[in-house]
Each structure stands twice: as structure tokens, then as C-alpha cells.
Amino acid sequence: MLTRRIIPCLDVADGKVVKGVRFRDHAVVGDIVELAARYRDAGADELVFYDIAASPQGRRVERAWVERVARVLDIPFCVAGGIRSVEDAREVLHAGADKVSVNSPALERPGLIEELAGAFGAQCVVIGIDSLRDADGVWRVRQYAGDPARTRALPRRTLDWVDEAQRRGAGEIVLNCMGSDGTRDGYDLAQLRAVRARCRVPLVASGGAGAPAHFLAAFREADVDAALAAGVFHGGAIAIAELKAYLRGQGIEVRP
Amino acid sequence: MRARPNVDVVLVDAGGSNLGSVRCALRRLGVEAEVSADAGRIRAATHVILPGVGAAAPGMARLRESGLDRLIPTLTQPVLGVCLGMQLLFEASEEGDTACLGVIPARVRRFDGAAPRVPQMGWNRLRIERDDPLLAELAQPAYAYFVHSYAAPVGPWTLASADYGGAFSAMVRRRNFVGMQFHPERSAAPGARLLANFLREPAAVRAGATGT
């Protein structure tokens, strides 16, 4: 039986893992390869590297660090940020990444999803969606959400975009629920459930993880395939091995 | 875990984007593999690996361009197909209704409605169906990383199966040809063990091999 995945997300700038408020005051947390190896050994099922510098500066992800990571990692990893074309994706995939994740560029030009799926297969193409519930109660997507100064609310409804992304060839969807992101109060189960009902490809929950029970709820109540988190792992609040032991004890299938 | 140092491994360049990852995984085992699409070079190797990510039709087209579709089935050294590379060992694939290499007499099909979602993406447990040197010292339970929308049926060729809305072939063998539907290069310790076991396969066809 397919197990549920636990995915730490690491922010990368100029080849280093950083933390802090996005796009301001990057504190270097450590060497990207060292941290990747640490999460590999801790039992992470997959890693996401989010190049927070490439995206807003209109730069391409640097191939060098992707290659360094690919050499040491024996678990899959995905690169997000700064991928706007088939050529950008090819660089990253040929450097050794297993998947690329595309967010705002796909909103600018939805045809990019088809191009990527056609060139590399849907299994390489992850669509990241930043979503927030508006005052009228409807979830809508946000563009450039990585940068608070540039974030734009779009008229596009999240559920419509989930449908369209799949139709165009998305192989996986990461739903970042901005209302819960950073709160550590738990994933946005209502929104995840609504997206799950529309999503035939694997769905990854993102935004709000603060305790092991939040992961359990996302798997059990929203039936997501994977749960992504950053702060709780980096800060040491949750150890992956203990999280997995807890989930197993609750009847969720996870990789030992 | 070190593989035998005296192997000469060639990775067949069929345009798969996991070529680099497989090469890295071999390097972690102490083996430097060469990437080639040259028939003479491939024939001379002690071990041949056919990686591959993507769709069956373009994958086969790439092999046909260089005549490798005729060469590969005639190879007598150990040959490993990974992911799409394993599917290409079969007779045909439903994906684009593609004729494949015909080493294993069965047809690869798309996951049907019983599969929770397609593609299958993630770690699934291997269920050993048959004894084989390829499975030596594989610690149990063993989980491997899968990413695929099409799957091969279980048959006499199946060494290990996995369950995704029904059983499918996770590892196969016919004579000197073996296949892994998952990505050993991304399957942590079990993946490294299986790759090392493949590199331990004797360079000539094993006498009395239990192939079907």
C-alpha cells in the first residue's frame, strides 16, 4: 500500500538554506547539502527546495546546488521557484531534481503546464497554489505570494484553478493555505477537503502545521497524499521519526 | 555498500531525465558509469542500465532512432530497466499503443479506476513473490519510491509486487533482463542494496537461470 509522505520544505537563497521573513533579512541556517543529508537521515520521504531568490529577481535556479544535492540525496526532491519555461525546468531536472514546482508563472501563462507535461511527463510537474478565503467566502488564488510587497489577489477561484491545472497536465498539486500558513494552528482542513474532492492527482497539504495531530488530521480528514512543513521541522519542534511513529500508532501508513 | 569494482556499466541514453540521478546512485556505490547510445559500446559493457522517465512512445522512438530497439533484446549481459525502462522490456504498452522491446510477454496498462489516484507517487511496500539473487540481503519490510501512471501485470516474471488498487509488478526478471518499476536511485537504503545486487550479477548469462 502506498504510504503517506512527510515533506520538509527548505528555503534556499544563493546556494544556502535560509530562514526569516521571506525576502527580508535572510539568516543563513546552513549548508544546503548538510541539511538535505540531515533530513534524509531523519526519515523525510521527499524534500522541497524553494529558491526564494531566483523567483523575485527573475533569475534561473542555479544548477550547481541542485547538482550537489542530487549527488548526496537518495530520496526524491523537488525544486520550486524561478521556473518559467521548459528550458528552466530542463536545467533543474537534468541537474538531478525529480520534479519541478511551478506557481506564479503558471498563473501568468497556464499553457506552461502543458509544455512542461509534454516535455517531461506529468509526473515531473507539480503545481503550487497559494490560496486564501476572501470576504465573500470563496477561496481564490494569490500570485507572487512569496513576496508580501508584490502579492496580488486574482479573480481566479482556487477550485477552478485546481481543475484547470489537472486538465493541462499537472501531476501533483501543493495547496498552500495562506490563512493558516505560519500560524501553527493546523492545516486548513475545510479547504483541503474541498480541493481533495476535485483533485485526482496527488495532493500535498501546506500551511499551518504545528503539532503531530495536525498531520494526522490532514491525512485522516482531508485524505491528502503528503503533508509539507517548514518551521516545525527546522526549529526542531517536531522530529520526523517521532511524528511517523505517532502516525503509525494512529493507523496511518508511513514509511519506517 | 560497495559494488564489485571490476564492472563496466553503461547507461543507455534514451532521453530519460533520471539519467543523472542513476549515475549519482552508482557513484555512491563506487561505480563510474558511462552514458552511451552506441551499439558497440553497449554490447561491450558488463552491465547495461536502461533508465527512463517519460512516455513509452517517445522512449521507444529514441531507441529506434539509434537501432537500439533491435540490439537490446539480443544482449546477454545483465540488463536493468528502471521505471519506463522496465516497461519498455515488455511486449507493448497501452500508453500511446506502443510496441516495446518484447523481452517479457505481457502488456503494460494504465492504472484503472481501482487505483486511488494516478500517477502513483510515493513510497510503496515491496512484496517478494519469488526468490532471486537480485533480492539478496534486502531488509524487510522494504519500501521503494514509485512514480508512474502505467503498470505491468503480475506474472511468472514477477520477483516483487506492490499494491495500488490491485497488485502490479514492482520487480521483474526474464533471463538476464531485470526491471524495477520504482526508482532505486531514489529509494534510500533498499534502492542502493538492489542496485548493488544488480552489479553483482555475473557478467555472462547465469547458467540455469530461473527466467521464464
Instruction: Say what the ipTM of the complex is.
Output: 0.92
What pLDDT was estimated at residue B140?
94
- Residue B206 in any domain: the answer is no
CATH code of the domain covering residue A214: 3.20.20.70
Query: What mean pLDDT comes out for the span A193-212?
Result: 97
> pLDDT category, B17, cuts 50, 70, 90?
low
- Residue A254 in any domain: the answer is no
pLDDT greater at residue A57 or residue A120: A120
Residue with cell 467566502: A137
* Domain interval for residue A151: 5-249
pLDDT at A97 over 70: yes
What pLDDT was estimated at residue A146?
76
Contacts of A199 in chain B (CB under 8 A): 117
- Residue A178 in any domain: the answer is yes
From A236's Cα to the closest Cα of chain B, the distance in A is 23
Element containing residue B98 per DSSP (H, E): strand B98-99
> What is the average pLDDT value for chain A, to the nearest integer?
91
Domain count for chain A, please give it.
Answer: 1
pLDDT greater at residue A200 or residue B5: A200
What pLDDT was estimated at residue A25?
57
Closest CA to B134 of B173, B97, B165: B173
pLDDT at A21 over 60: no
Cell of A119: 516535455
CATH code of the domain covering residue B13: 3.40.50.880
> pLDDT category, A249, cuts 50, 70, 90?
very high
- Residue A256 in any domain: the answer is no
> pLDDT category, A26, cuts 50, 70, 90?
low
Q: Is A25 a catalytic residue?
A: no
What pLDDT was estimated at residue B207?
43
Catalytic, out of B47, B83, B100, B148: B83
What pLDDT was estimated at residue A84?
94
- Residue B210 in any domain: the answer is no
Q: Is B137 a catalytic residue?
A: no
Query: What mean pLDDT comes out for the span A112-126?
Result: 92
- Residue A225 in any domain: the answer is yes
Widest Cα–Cα separation across chain B: 47
Query: What mean pLDDT comes out for the span B82-97?
Result: 95
What pLDDT was estimated at residue B208?
43
- Residue B212 in any domain: the answer is no
What pLDDT was estimated at residue A113?
98
- Residue B48 in any domain: the answer is yes
* Domain interval for residue B144: 9-200
- Residue B3 in any domain: the answer is no
pLDDT at A121 over 90: no
Cβ <8 Å between A123 and B125 = no
- Residue B208 in any domain: the answer is no
pLDDT greater at residue A55 or residue B129: B129
pLDDT at A187 over 50: yes
Contacts of B127 in chain A (CB under 8 A): none
Query: What mean pLDDT comes out for the span A139-155?
Result: 86
> pLDDT category, A148, cuts 50, 70, 90?
confident
What pLDDT was estimated at residue A22?
45
pLDDT at B196 over 60: yes
Distance CA B17, CA A68 (A): 17
Full-model pTM: 0.93
Catalytic, out of A11, A51, A98, A188: A11
Report the residue of chain B nearest A94, measured CA to CA.
B17
**B2 CB burial (10 A radius; 0-12, 13-18, 19+):** exposed
pLDDT, tens only, A50-79: 988 776 677 777 888 999 999 999 999 999
pLDDT at B33 over 90: yes
Cβ <8 Å between A202 and B119 = yes
Q: Is the Cβ–Cβ distance between A69 and A48 less than 8 Å?
A: no
pLDDT at B133 over 70: yes
Domain count for chain B, please give it.
Answer: 1
> pLDDT category, B210, cuts 50, 70, 90?
very low
Widest Cα–Cα separation across chain A: 48
Query: What mean pLDDT comes out for the span B28-56?
Result: 92
Q: How far is CA B173 from CA A17, A42, B156, B179, B197, in A?
A: 43, 33, 9, 6, 13
- Out of A146-150, A154-158, A167-171, B140-144, least confident range: A146-150
Q: Is B83 a catalytic residue?
A: yes
Other beta carbons within 10 angstroms of residue A235's beta carbon come to 10
pLDDT, tens only, B147-165: 999 999 999 999 999 999 9
What pLDDT was estimated at residue B2?
56
Cβ <8 Å between A120 and B116 = no
Closest CA to A74 of B1, B95, B38, B50: B1
> Which of A1, A95, A123 has the CB atom closest to B124's CB atom?
A1
What pLDDT was estimated at residue A20?
53
pLDDT at A111 over 50: yes
Query: What mean pLDDT comes out for the span A202-228?
Result: 97
